[in-house]
């Protein structure tokens, strides 16, 4: 039987790229989000609030065998109270997904679950989140681990992402803000020191990682979707300016580095590298 995947948060920055990758690899997709104006008409579209109108959603999930849960509001506002308010909604929704018979469940995670950490992050790295966003994601991960222990056939994969780049006009990152200021005619862009090192991953590669990790069933648990290489923010942004022929100059030190940002944090990518090599879709 042809694989059929439910993608929630489908209209978002990551969602639309994941769907494009799945479609390009002949995977049937059911896309769910409040709005789906950015999504190809080749998918089955379910425009709904997945937490409120679940009957409508679940009536359209025939033959779906995999869920990729990307839905999350205010992801770029790390201390929005909505993160704490929504934890139980995500858990209840995913539990209902499981109870409907979909036992391959994949949920997007974040490096912000870790909190302040210097060095490589692997599956044994302790979590100590220090933002509402990180706290909420980590709580959901821990809750789903308890759910998974109730059924040996339930497969839960926690797809932990790090610093995403690409499709930069739509990602609400430092890169999108630089483009905006350039288009406004600004000569300089206020910046931090740029010394902090992160694990950058291009959105197209990330979409491939998420898709392949979700479709395979041999490896579960935490899967770091990352490059495995620390690169300074300064180096990455300077390269971005050069590659895009931008004239705006960085005003280093205009803003202090955020207190909860680690001097250097990157992921161990051994597991995702193994999955990418063995995956059935190319």
Active site residues: 133
Beta bridge partners of 68: 7, 106
- Please give the angle made by the CA atoms of 16, 174 and 194, to the nearest 5 degrees: 140
* Token digits of residue 185: 């005619």
CA separation (Å) from 199 to 165, 171, 184, 269, 282?
A: 10, 16, 29, 10, 24
Which residues, at least 6 apart from 111, have a Cβ–Cβ distance to it below 8 Å? Answer: 121, 160, 161, 162, 163, 199, 265, 267
Classify strands 197-202 and 230-232 as parallel, antiparallel or unpaired: antiparallel
* Token digits of residue 211: 């898709």
> Which DSSP state fits 173?
S
- Using CA atoms in the order 171, 174, 179, 180, what is the torsion angle rounded to 10 degrees? 80
């Amino acid at each position: 039987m042809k694989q059929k995947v439910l993608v929630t948060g489908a209209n978002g920055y990551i969602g639309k790229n994941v769907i494009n990758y799945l479609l390009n690899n002949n995977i049937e997709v059911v896309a769910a989000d409040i709005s789906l104006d950015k999504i190809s008409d080749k998918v089955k579209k379910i425009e709904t609030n997945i937490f409120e109108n679940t009957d409508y959603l679940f009536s359209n999930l025939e033959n779906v065998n995999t869920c990729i849960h990307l839905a999350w509001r205010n992801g770029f506002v790390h201390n929005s109270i909505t993160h704490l308010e929504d934890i139980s909604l995500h858990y209840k929704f995913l539990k209902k997904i499981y109870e409907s018979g979909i036992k391959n469940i994949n949920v997007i995670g974040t490096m912000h679950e870790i909190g302040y950490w210097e060095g490589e992050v692997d599956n044994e790295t302790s979590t100590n989140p220090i933002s509402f966003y990180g706290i909420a994601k980590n709580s959901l991960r821990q809750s789903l681990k308890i759910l998974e222990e109730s059924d040996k056939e339930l497969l839960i994969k926690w797809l932990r992402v790090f610093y995403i780049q690409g499709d930069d006009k739509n990602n609400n990152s430092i890169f999108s803000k630089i483009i905006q200021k350039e288009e406004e005619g600004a000569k300089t862009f206020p910046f931090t020191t740029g010394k902090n090192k992160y694990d950058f991953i291009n959105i197209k590669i990330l979409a491939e990682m998420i898709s392949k990790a979700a479709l395979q069933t041999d490896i579960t648990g935490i899967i770091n979707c990352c490059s495995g290489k620390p690169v300074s923010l300064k180096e990455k942004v300077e390269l971005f300016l050069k590659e895009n022929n931008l004239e705006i100059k960085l005003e280093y030190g205009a803003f202090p580095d955020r207190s909860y940002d680690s001097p250097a944090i990157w992921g161990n990518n051994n597991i995702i590298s193994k999955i990418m090599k063995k995956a059935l879709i190319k």
